[in-house]
Amino acid sequence: MQKIPVGISSCLLGESVRFDGGHKRDAYIVGTLSGFFEFRPFCPEVAIGMGIPRPTIHLVKTGQGLRSVGVKDPSKDFTEPLRAYAEQQKILYAGLCGYILKKDSPSCGMARVKVYTGRQPTRDGVGVYAEVMMRNNPLMPVEEEGRLGDPGLRENFIQRVYVYYRWLEMMAQGLTPHALITFHARHKLIMMTHGDYRALGQLVAGVTKENLQAVAGQYIKRLMALLKTVPSKKAHVNVLQHIQGYLKKELSADDKAELCEVIERYRQGEVPLIVPITLLKHHFRKNPDPYIDNSYYLAPYPPELRLTNLL
């Protein structure tokens, strides 16, 4: 598979674009994810001509809403240039399958950015640039580099990127009712781990050539919203047991007992998700099933990412 295009705050790649002339190079992003993602860097503060180094800015609550202004010189307001830059990048964003933002940044922070009212900050703001970028791309998976340190959030973001990538690939190849039905079938088990997927199934069941575009628009909106929920162990156990049912006539009593034991050990937190998945793959190699073979659940992204080793 070719590398997936993903936007990123430039400083996370090691580019010296910070206000102090430094960077925030992230070893996991540069060392692991760069092998699978084609990173396209953005630094809105540099892009609007603020320079390197530059005076620091912060978010301030005013009668005109949140403003991004200089810390030492509040008369310098960068709000509109940052918003305008985000609007100007719409064409570039359209080709992205995800975006990794710099946490806490008054321009790029995804959430919990400090907002000042007088001298008392609250962590309820969104970076000025990030707010416009996310509003213009509501389907695109977005995450902050700090949250990628959490295994569950990391796996969730990367899985969403791959699902969205496959969706855009399907759209580029030509959307048909059959393509949409196949897409749903291949991702159904993944959806089951994220919550109630029945509304998506009902949408697909009613697709025709006449309503295809409308159904597809509703479908991807609901799907990407559903996938934001981080799966629980209980949800994975339910899906693992569901998949196990496809082997009920093929496995010996001992093999069934072993599989049940491994799934239970995963539920108890004694082994990571990769253990029952590996055992299921072993059995399906010997006893192929077309539905499971075509499903992405047992192989949602390249195994080299090793995300299920940590869950």
pLDDT at 67: 97
Pick from 198, 226, 254: which residue ends a domain? 226
Identify the helix (H) or strand (E) that includes residue 113.
Answer: strand 113-117
**What letter would DSSP give residue 229?**
S
Of 93, 125, 122, 224, nearest to 166 (Cα)? 224
244 has a pLDDT exceeding 80: yes
Number of separate domains in the chain: 3
Q: 119 pLDDT exceeds 90?
A: no
Are 125 and 187 part of one and the same domain? no
Residues 96 and 172 placed together within one structural domain of the fold: no
**One domain, residues 135 and 124:** yes
Question: Is 202 in a helix, a strand, or coil?
Answer: helix
This prediction has a pTM of 0.96
* Residue 114, domain extent: 4-149
pLDDT tens for each residue of 189-235: 999 999 999 999 999 999 999 999 999 999 999 999 999 999 999 99
Whether the pLDDT of residue 1 is over 80: the answer is no
Indicate whether 116 pLDDT > 90: yes
Tell me the average pLDDT across 159-176: 98
Q: What backbone torsions phi and psi does residue 209 show, to the nearest 5 degrees?
A: -60, -35
Of 226, 248, 274, which marks where a domain is finished?
Answer: 226
Instruction: Answer yes or no: do 219 and 261 share one domain.
Output: no
Of 179, 210, 226, the one marking the end of a domain is 226
